[in-house]
Amino acid sequence: MRPRRWIVVLMAALLLGIGIAARIVPSRYTEIVLTQEGREDALFRAIVPDGEPLTLRWRNSQFGLDVTEGFVARSGLIIQNRVTFALPGGPPPPPVSPGDVPDLFHTGGPFDARGLSRPFSRIVYRVGEIGDPRLQVQNRTVAFKPAAGFGGRITLAASRPAFYEILWFGRF
């Protein structure tokens, strides 16, 4: 009878340990998930170490400029650290200060802003006919237009993964 009791105690301790490990949210990792409105499955999912760069490239249909937005994963967020609006095939855009970016997003013209620190946990993109947005994370690129079609909505979400997700999904 005693060996059975130890097995039950051992199994209970193991289940308790797994339950606790599932709730631990370690720092230094960020989960990146791309979803399309109306679909339950993710278009893309990755658990990345903090400091991992993400790059979104698209064409601004209003001004005809090529846009590159740079982000970095940090503690369950994505931090926009740079944005460039450039003339296709034109000279390098002029550098601007991070404080000028909100106005320049709406007024047009080429610019290059570095040193931004704009945190996001969720961004919703509307897919246009011209823009052709593409997100690059690690060695994968996800094209939004083939996934969602014209007018579709893609959500980029960032969060801190639980310990079991890091082990289970790792590099999804």
CA dist 101 and 107 (Å) reads 10
Closest CA to 145 of 159, 133, 135: 133
Domain boundaries, the chain: 27-169
Q: What does the pLDDT average to over 146-150?
A: 86
Predicted local confidence at residue 136, as pLDDT: 96
68 near 56, Cβ under 8 Å?
yes
Phi and psi at 83, nearest 5°, equal: -150, 135
pLDDT (tens digit, 9 = 90+) per residue, 5-52? 888 888 888 877 766 666 665 668 899 999 998 888 889 999 899 999
- Rounded to a whole number of angstroms, the CA Rg of the chain reads 21
- CA 118 to chain CA centroid, Å, is 13
CA dist 30 and 120 (Å) reads 12
57 near 41, Cβ under 8 Å?
no
Model confidence at 137, pLDDT cuts 50, 70, 90, reads: very high
